[in-house]
A and B are shown apart, each in its own frame.
Chain A
Amino acid sequence: MASSSFQNFTIADYLRILFQRIWVIILCTFIAVCVAGYFSIFKMKKKYKSSMDIKVGQKNSKNPFLKTLLTRASLNGVITDLRDKLQGEKRLRLLARNIRLKTKNEYVQMEYLKDYEKINLPDAVGRILKNLSESERIEIFSRMELVTLAKILGVFSLDEINPFAMNDVSSGLAQSEYLLDEQNEFFIKQLRKLLATKSELINKSYGLISIRQVRERAAAKVNAIVSDTKKFSKLQKIQLWEIYKELVSIDRLIDVGLYNINVKEARGYIGSLRSGLKVGITPNNFIHLLYDTSHSSLSEAIPHLVVLTAFEMIRAEYYASEEGHRIDAKAEMRKQIKRLSGEILEINKALANHKNLINLQLAYADNKEALLDDDKKIDVFIMPKVSTHVKKINELTDEKRKLEGEIKAKLASIAELEETLRNPSRIRIIQKTIKVENTPESRKLEVERNKKMEQLGRFRLDATEKHPMIQKLLQEIQQINLSLSGLNSPIETTVEKEHPMVSQWKAQRILHKEEIAVIKARIKEIDRNVKIEMKKAVEAPKRLQKYEALQKRKVTLTEMLNKSQDSLEKILAEENVGKGILWTEFEIYRSPVRPLKHYAPQVEVIIAIGFAIGLLAALGVIFVIEYTDHSIKGIEDAKRYFDIPILGTIPEFEFQHAESSYIKKSILIRKILGKGISSNSDGENIITTKKSRYLLGIIIFTLLLILAIGATFAYLNKEWVRSYYNEVKYMIVDNPNEKSKNEIVITNEISKEKPEVIKEKNSTPKKEIEGK
């Protein structure tokens, strides 16, 4: 006998099992899809992605009170402290002690913070105001910057949200009585102004949130207060209440999370917000917030913590993106400033020198008014300089002329001396002596001797006695004389002698020459000096030009320095984005909008998952059924379990007895359903094999399912739109320029179009909602 294990199973068997139990699959999947659809549509919390744009200005508020408040509330501190705070109550107390209020010049310790758990904020504000002097108080109220802050606060100071709104009215009023001073008219005027602006603001702010009822109530309230001028004392009280409600809300903003929010709630809240919050800053100081909300109304969706965390995020992202760049820029700017300032110092020194010179000249200048004219400036400043040089040159030239005259005179005397020395008659004295008889030899010798004498005489004119030629000649002459004395007999002869003055003349001549050389050197010196003086005379006007150039250079350098200083200041200011900008100057440019469609849960995906799970479950169910089912399914089973031969396999067919009215009536329907019955021409019923209409059935079933799902979705959407129609209308009014609501568009440009004015029939105050 064959075993009952699944080893003998083939693909055909498995396929048969699947197709046999197809209704199980369909049922399981249907149930799973229904359950998934039900939970995803009705039960699970819907999440919407919303966004808001906030415009941030860069003005710095000058109000010291506000400034101190705001710096104290600078988000960096608050949020980090808040985060720490949430970790434990000890931290909370520490922080409470550390919070201080700064007035103009002094710190006022907030006493109430010592016992933080028993805090009463209206009381505390009252004390703060007590500590201030009257003038300070008036200053605070006179500043309209409080209004700008109220713009922000107006959004959140709804009665529904504000926890101290209605409960603390009485205590607030009681505390505010000390402020009342009916004689202080100025104070009252300021209050009125504030209220007038506040009514508008409330309209705006409530419009942003688009809760009509609250809005109208508030508007009516404000109108009543403003219109009833007769009840002045009460009015005052109410006004005061309004004002320090604002103050309270300021403080509440600062100390948010400390006072009226449970630690657990706040922690969860911040966590949920942080998970789905995205922030971006556009070039035009638009902050774009994107956050997830799982709350039903917008008033719940945007509490204070949203703003706090949002700005914390802004700061964080801003620093993360640009911190490194800013540090580099700062260092560069500081270097440049150092360099420029050094240059400017040097220039200043140079200019000081010039100034001293000028001052000295001014001291000697007769006409100080002449300095004002540019033409006369030259006479005053430049000509005296040049004239000194010219005088010197003239003196030098005179000297030169004198020296040249001397040289000429000396040269003339030298010439005379030479003339005299050249004349032999003047130099020589003739003496007569006894002559000796001349032989032909002696004569020849005599002729030679005469010639040599003549030569000697010429030499002696030019050269001294020690000259070698002269001595040579003298020796030859002596030899000739000796030879002649030996040959000839004495004869009467005439002897020539030198003039005794010749030596003196020669000495004089040499002296003259030496003197001339000295004078020439002196002249050379003079020429050099003249050249220098000439140069100086030419350079004198150039000094002024230098002075002017230096001044120009200084101007440019100072400009550069200013620029770099400005940029450095800018960079430094950017560092204080969180401190300066956040609280003082921002307005909601585009109010948060609840999108029409939620992004989570994704119904389609969940249904698909449900479908898959249903399939798996169906497979499991089929396995269990197949395992427990011992029925004979076909030939295979019969062969497997029994050895008896199978005689026939008769397919399923419809077989009722012929008289059955059940068949006769439903033949048409059975034909359509493929039950395998038809009627003959004789009126007899004819049975055929059944036609399988499984596929058609499945297709029809799935189509119906899809239709049903589509219909439910359509219905749901319709209902949704209907219920939020009013809100949607307001949203459109708030954002005339917005086109796509589901998508997030970061607007870089401020729209300058004028806002639409909406008039409604029932509402008493006219609402003007600005697009900007």
Chain B
Amino acid sequence: MNLDDAFRKLMKKGNLSASKQEVTENDKTTVAVDENTKVTTLEPTIEEEKEIKFPPIDFSQIVVEDKFTFNHVEERSQIAEEYRILRTRLQIINPSKNSVMFTSCRHGEGKSSTSMNLSLFLAKKKDQKILLVDLDLRRSRVGKLFNYKPKVDIVDVVRERAELEKTIVYSKKENLYIMPVRRDYSNATEVLESNNMKDIINRLHENFDFIIIDTCPCLSTADPTIVGKLIGGAIMVVRTRQTQRESLEHAILALREHNIPTLGLVLTFMKYFIPKYFYRYQYYHDTYYYYHYYAGKDSVDG
């Protein structure tokens, strides 16, 4: 009971603060919150040119690759459809700073794989610039997944040893910008807390259409709370049959304490032990699936 109340209060606070900030920063964006439905809906907004405080990124200096070598998800498989659903729902939520952070309670729950695949699917819109940033400095995975070893990374930029453009890699085939990490760092929090990091992320926000950030687990480290202040919101990755519901509650509470909104849950490692038509949420599931499948096919994929 106490938990529920705390939850609601925090939810209200977080939303209000976020909206206030938005109002102050950008006068023409409005956010409406329905408390009864508890689903954030967005009214259509008119985009305008933003003030550029940071210098723009020189895309000509970015490292360009023809293609990455990684494990492709099959286009027609169930997994791909699920990622498409995730993509469309993200579009509905429309996070405030056009950036999203993936966290979880513990490691090994599928943060890296979901962020990677989601960025790949988002990048299929050819006119948008999607960036995948690896801020899991302690246990970096993005470089390994894409089979790419960079010479310089974001930590070098923070320490002013290298330029930002040299850390970004672009592949022509996938239309995706990634920022992999060179090696594992033990002093990750100090790096993330620095002012240079803030500047870098703000700069990236201004230059890219959508940024996906892969971070550390929420309960074991404080990194996601630091990173979360700089970006639009967090998405909790929940590994089914492993993540305890108490720990998930704790993680969400920890994020709320720093006014970081949890935009939603992504359940990974889903397993259907019995045929799907036995499940209660079959109707719910299928309608969303078909609607977004056909919508996405016409507008995005085609």
A binds B: yes
30 pairs across A/B with beta carbons < 8 Å? A11-B278, A12-B280, A15-B273, A16-B273, A20-B271, A631-B240, A632-B245, A632-B267, A633-B241, A634-B240, A634-B267, A635-B281, A638-B238, A647-B90, A647-B235, A647-B265, A647-B266, A648-B86, A648-B114, A649-B270, A650-B83, A650-B110, A652-B269, A652-B270, A658-B147, A686-B71, A686-B73, A686-B74, A688-B77, A689-B77
CB proximity of B38 to chain A, nearest CB, Å: 5
User: Closest B-chain residue to A12, C-beta based?
Assistant: B278
B265 touches A644 (CB 8 A): yes
- Which of A19, A646, A688 has a CB less than 8 Å from the CB of B265? A646
Cβ-closest 3 pairs across A and B: A648-B86, A19-B273, A647-B264
B244 touches A631 (CB 8 A): yes
Residues A568-619 near B (CB distance < 8 A): none
- Which of B144, B236, B245 has a CB less than 8 Å from the CB of A657? B144
B145 touches A657 (CB 8 A): yes
A648 touches B89 (CB 8 A): yes
B252 within 8 A of A: yes
Question: Given A649-B285, A650-B267, A651-B269, 10 more contacts at CB 8 Å?
Answer: A630-B245, A631-B244, A632-B243, A636-B279, A647-B86, A650-B270, A684-B69, A686-B72, A687-B72, A689-B78
Residues B225-261 near A (CB distance < 8 A): 235-236, 238, 240-246, 248-249, 252
B43 within 8 A of A: no
B4 within 8 A of A: yes
B19 within 8 A of A: no
User: Closest A-chain residue to B70, C-beta based?
Assistant: A658
- Which of B147, B248, B262, B270 has a CB less than 8 Å from the CB of A659? B147
B246 touches A648 (CB 8 A): no
Chain B 1-21: CB-based contact to A (< 8 A → 1; otherwise 0):
000100100000000000000
Q: Which residues of A contact B147 (CB under 8 A)?
A: 657-659
B52 within 8 A of A: no
A647 CA / B281 CA spacing, docked (Å): 14
Residues B28-53 near A (CB distance < 8 A): 38-39
Q: Which residues of A contact B249 (CB under 8 A)?
A: 641-642
A651 touches B73 (CB 8 A): no
User: Closest B-chain residue to A645, C-beta based?
Assistant: B264
Sort chain A's interface into a size bin.
Answer: 35 or more
Task: Name which of A643, A649, A652 has the most chain B CB atoms within 10 A of its CB.
Answer: A649
B196 within 8 A of A: no
For chains A and B in complex, what number of residue pairs have CB atoms within 8 angstroms?
A: 166
B274 touches A656 (CB 8 A): no
B265 touches A645 (CB 8 A): yes
A653 within 8 A of B: yes
B79 touches A633 (CB 8 A): no
- Which of A12, A16, A630, A632 has a CB less than 8 Å from the CB of B238? A632
- Using known A-B contacts A10-B280, A630-B245, A688-B79, determine if residue A658 contacts B145 with beta carbons closer than 8 Å: yes
B248 touches A642 (CB 8 A): yes
A685 within 8 A of B: yes
CB proximity of B15 to chain A, nearest CB, Å: 13
Q: Which residues of B contact A652 (CB under 8 A)?
A: 268-271
User: Closest A-chain residue to B90, C-beta based?
Assistant: A647
A630 touches B73 (CB 8 A): no
Q: Which residues of B contact A645 (CB under 8 A)?
A: 39, 89, 263-265
A644 CA / B266 CA spacing, docked (Å): 10
Q: Which residues of B contact A685 (CB under 8 A)?
A: 71-72
Chain B 273-298: CB-based contact to A (< 8 A → 1; otherwise 0):
11000111100010000000000000
Q: Which residues of B contact A687 (CB under 8 A)?
A: 71-74, 77, 79
- Using known A-B contacts A644-B236, A688-B77, determine if residue A631 contacts B89 with beta carbons closer than 8 Å: no
A510 within 8 A of B: no
A111 within 8 A of B: no
User: Closest B-chain residue to A1, C-beta based?
Assistant: B4
Residues A654-682 near B (CB distance < 8 A): 655-659, 663, 677, 680
B85 within 8 A of A: yes
A649 touches B267 (CB 8 A): yes
A448 within 8 A of B: no
A637 within 8 A of B: yes
User: Closest A-chain residue to B268, C-beta based?
Assistant: A650
A659 touches B144 (CB 8 A): yes
B79 touches A20 (CB 8 A): no
B145 touches A688 (CB 8 A): no
B70 touches A657 (CB 8 A): yes
A630 CA / B50 CA spacing, docked (Å): 47
CB proximity of B255 to chain A, nearest CB, Å: 11
A686 CA / B268 CA spacing, docked (Å): 19
CB proximity of B235 to chain A, nearest CB, Å: 6
